[in-house]
A and B are shown apart, each in its own frame.
Chain A
Amino acid sequence: MQSFPCPFCGPRPEPEFLFVTEMGKTRPEPAAEVSAPVWAAYLHDVKNIKGEVAEVWQHLPCGQLYLMRRDTTTMAVLGVQSFRKGGAA
């Protein structure tokens, strides 16, 4: 069980966290102008990088989304950052 640092609550055990998405995905809009392949890529394509990744996670007890950089080979957490304006880093 990993221990992740929530930017708001500090280090907490892994079951309190939800992986949301890989960082950098933008929702394609408006629907009428989005081709099927673009939409399918948005829905289903994940890079699954071996090594350093940037991901969006949610700490469920406080509900906040944040950016977490970690290494998928060593499981090391490299850093976290809040998405809030002027929020905790």
Chain B
Amino acid sequence: MNFTFDGMDLTGRPGDTIAAALLRAQMRIVNRSFKYHRPRGLWGAWVEEPNAILDVTLNGVRTPNCRATTTPLAAGMAIESVNTALTARRDPLAVLDRFARFIPAAFYYKTFLWPSWHLFEPTIRKMAGLGRMDGTQDFVPAAPQRHETAELLVIGAGPAGLEAALAAARAGLDVVLVDDRDTPGGSLIDRAEHLEGQSPADWAAAMISAFRAAGGRYLPATTAFGAYDHGLFLLAQRRDHPAAPALIRLRADRAILATGAIERPLTFVDNDRPGILSLHAGQAYLNRHGVLAGQRIAILSTGDAQTAATQFRAAGAAVEVIEAGEGRAEVEAVHWFARHLRGLTLTDGRRIDCDTILASGGWTPAVHLHCQTGGKLDWREDIQAFVPRADRPQILTIGAAAGTFATDDARSDALIAARGDRPALRAQDPVRKAWPQLGQSRRAWVDFQNDVTVKDVELAGRENMRAVEHLKRYTTLGMANDQGKISNMPGLATMAAIRQVPIPEIGTTTFRPPFDPVSLATLAGPKREALFAPPKRLVLEPLHRAAGALMREYGGWLRPAVYTDVEAEVSAARDHVTLFDGSPLGKIDVYGPDAARFMDFIYYNTMGNLKPGRARYGFLLTEGGIVFDDGILFRLSEYHFSVSCSSSHVDQVANLLDLWRQDQFDPDRVFIQDATPHWATLTLAGPKARALMARLDFGIPLDDAAMPHLSVVQKDGMRIARVSFTGDCSYEISVPARAAAALWQRIVTTGRDFGLALQGVEALAILRMEKGLIFVGKDTDGTTMPHDLGFAAPREKKQVEFVGKRSLFTETASRPDRLQLVGLACQGAPLPVGGHATAPGQPASQGYVTSAAHSPTLGKPIALALIAGGLGRMGEEVEVYHLGQRRRATICPGCFVDPEWERLNA
């Protein structure tokens, strides 16, 4: 399989990861480090890899920051290193490393403070930004998402996970086994450990066959990256590069974590040189891919490395095993010359020639998922590691993840866990400690990916950033995309040594999802672009579009903003008649014998005495007395009301009604149904509306006596209401949605003789502003009470209890300087919405402009504003301050056009 790396043509084999192919091609330097641009090679062979984060282009799609150790190689991949000005081998910015002593941890915080971080940020980001996006590219295609359930979820298909999954499946449980590798076997394969006379691959394959035969579901190439409440696990299922992984949300009654352990590095001077790998990674490359990490290998290990050494020798390498850790000689120097590792010198004087160092500083159990659910950890002195505490009733951890490293022990524990019992703790042979040494004159790396050294941790200690969470943020230790899988423990141990306390007293930082980086496309799934928060659509949308409407979103609905010209539409509504699609207006039915009493309790205004066939404007309040919504209430019959709430607010109002209904009323005597989607509402407004209604001939009398302002008639399945949001005579005709198109066409045709114009939402916003009519949430805020809007009568007179009543009589509710809704008159351009009103020349805000526009009817600017004590300050002059500009304005009543409301009945 041919591919390129930094422009070089290379060849890999099927089954290789990118990392295995690079190692096979003897690419020792695969990247540069984030901060110092030091040459870096592979350290790990799987998710723990900190260095080999590469940009991969395949079939024209560039995917930044692919981890080489977990990305399968595909023919034709163009792979590029990151953090480099040229290539991984030759990077002129490597000169930065010479100045390392001047750029320690927190250097950026301290240095680039003045005059502004933003001045330096672009350059620094460019120098250290990991992978590069291809800005010309569209999003990668959406990733599929699906839901699953299981009685038992087993995570990890190593020896422990396989045993547990098979035993549980055979016991009749519905079991899902998840493993992030393509093939089962886990660490057995890495170590080439034979079981029951079989090769690890054969043994694991046989286990999977038996598991499937017992009804188990096995999900390979799937990473369980997040564990959440009530047994929810998020799984990312790999797909062929560059497709983003699929997301599976799996809810399990119980889970068994057999997630294994991660090998720790040894922290010696220049321990980040290319050619220094984890011992386990060296074994994995040999046993999985047939790639030998080097020809002359020095193994530095705190544990038994003889099996591994034998394997390397059998493959043809010269191997020297050196015991590392407490009481043994330390590495004094790593010899690096002409971009090659040449050997090392120990403190006892020994000099070892080698081209590769395989290091093992012990094992850190992969406890991430246990901790993500809130599980705590216990420190185990024997293995120098944190293991899960037995505090998650539904989650059991087994095998190396629980600190039980021997395969036989892990397998017997698996059988116990499969039954739902918690295996007992097994004492392990004590490991030699190998924590970082303080006070070294040269740099030893703790976090490879973020270039954090022991000296940086010591600096953090000196500057009192001693708590683990402070240490993490001050030095960026563990903040890279490997989330400190290999660096957290050495970092904590270093801080423990600085503070001279035991490691468990330091604690760990918080483990949060994801365990492994997840593509945003995986998390977003199909919910993006058109499917991201899709708006509600009008049944008449095709007709609006045919009429040339500009459609925009208003309160969750896609509505006609304007058809031709906003001001022309306003003028048509004042001079002739307009047709407006008011379908989103709320139509919440309230029925039942207690409906009238319910409406009285729900509304600020008295509603119980409303006559059938009549309507009334009113406010819905929160229990805190704040205006929640406004609108017209229709009484259709003795036991039937319809709440016509704001278009953008229907769901919230319907639920508010339901909560009060169930809390304060007999739910068998009041019923609520949101019928908004059932109806389409066409509104005719303007001085010729009544004449047009007469011509349309719905068979109802239209005179003021039979059908006055604020009345409603039901006829032939229609509801015809006479209400007005423009100040002119206006009718709302509601028909079942399926009948809307025919009615619309009929009105448009008939309306020609009356100068009918189509009117969009923008024109309505001006028409209502000219009348001082509010939009709740625009002309009110989180402090507005109804008496601030000039509706004080119910507060003073309504005797019965209603929602929010007591709140209207608090000290705050009675203050004279409350923000009250008024108009503002001015000259010139409309006032800026959001501009603050002040006393002339004064800085203190006295309120702000809520709505403003040019009034085509009056030929001058108008505005609504919430002003402190505004209702008592008519005629007073204020200044409106906005973005450094001050404008004069005069407080006036909010109703600018026809203040006597004579046009309503004209």
Contact = CB atoms under 8 A, between A and B. Distances in A.
Contacts of A65: 659, 662-663
Contact of A30 (B624, B663, B801): B801
B229 A39 contact: no
B228 interface: yes
B662 A64 contact: yes
Contacts of A60: 655
Interface string B710-728: 0000000000000000000
A44 B663 CA distance: 18
Contacts of A3: 230-232, 251
A29 B801 contact: yes
Interface string A46-74: 00000000000010100111000000000
Of the listed residues A27, A28, A77, the one surrounded by the most CB atoms of chain B closer than 10 A to its CB is A27
A1 interface: yes
Interface string B241-268: 0000000010100000000000000000
Interface residues of B, number: 25
Nearest to A75: B229
Nearest to A56: B663
A43 B623 contact: yes
Contacts of A1: 228-230, 232, 249
A36 interface: yes
B809 to A, nearest CB: 7
A89 interface: no
The bracket for how many chain A residues form the interface is 20 to 34
Nearest to A36: B810
Interface string B67-81: 000000000000000
Contact of B811 (A2, A18, A36): A36
A50 B662 CA distance: 28
A43 B810 CA distance: 13
Contacts of B807: 39, 43
Nearest to B812: A36
A43 B659 contact: no
A75 B232 CA distance: 13
B806 interface: yes
Contacts of B251: 3
Contacts of B667: 84
A83 interface: yes
Contact of B230 (A2, A34, A83): A2
A9 interface: no
A76 to B, nearest CB: 8
B411 interface: no
A58 B659 contact: yes
Contacts of B231: 3
Contacts of A63: 655, 658
Contacts of B664: 27
A88 interface: no
B771 interface: no
B614 interface: no
A78 interface: no
B673 to A, nearest CB: 10
Contacts of B658: 58, 63
B672 to A, nearest CB: 8
Interface string B648-670: 00000001001100111001100
Contacts of A27: 663-664
Contacts of A30: 801
Contacts of B228: 1
B655 A31 contact: no
Contacts of A84: 667
A30 to B, nearest CB: 6
A83 B667 CA distance: 10
A6 B596 CA distance: 30
Interface in B660-711: 662-664, 667-668
A7 B655 CA distance: 19
B805 interface: yes
A43 B624 contact: yes
A30 B799 CA distance: 10
A58 B655 CA distance: 10
Nearest to B811: A36
Contacts of B662: 64-65, 83
Contacts of A34: 806
Given A43-B624, A58-B659, A2 B229 contact: yes
Nearest to B391: A74
B659 A20 contact: yes
B809 A31 contact: yes
Interface in A1-38: 1-3, 14, 18, 20, 27-31, 34, 36
Contacts of B805: 31
Interface in B761-817: 801, 805-807, 809-811
B806 to A, nearest CB: 4
Contacts of A43: 623-624, 807
B671 to A, nearest CB: 11
B852 to A, nearest CB: 34
Nearest to A4: B230
Contacts of A18: 655
A86 B822 CA distance: 52
A85 B231 CA distance: 33
Contacts of B663: 27, 65
A58 to B, nearest CB: 7
Contacts of A39: 806-807, 810
A34 B625 CA distance: 15
- Most chain B CB neighbours (cut-off 10 Å) among A2, A63, A84: A63
B393 to A, nearest CB: 8
Nearest to A39: B806
Contacts of B232: 1-3
Interface string B402-426: 0000000000000000000000000
A20 B408 CA distance: 52
A51 to B, nearest CB: 15
Nearest to A35: B806
Interface of A: 1-3, 14, 18, 20, 27-31, 34, 36, 39, 43, 58, 60, 63-65, 75, 77, 83-85
Given A2-B232, A39-B807, 5 more contacts: A3-B231, A31-B805, A31-B806, A65-B662, A65-B663
Q: Which 10 A-B pairs have the closest CB atoms?
A: A31-B806, A31-B805, A3-B230, A2-B229, A65-B662, A2-B230, A39-B806, A75-B229, A34-B806, A63-B658
5 contacts: A1-B228, A1-B232, A18-B655, A58-B655, A85-B668
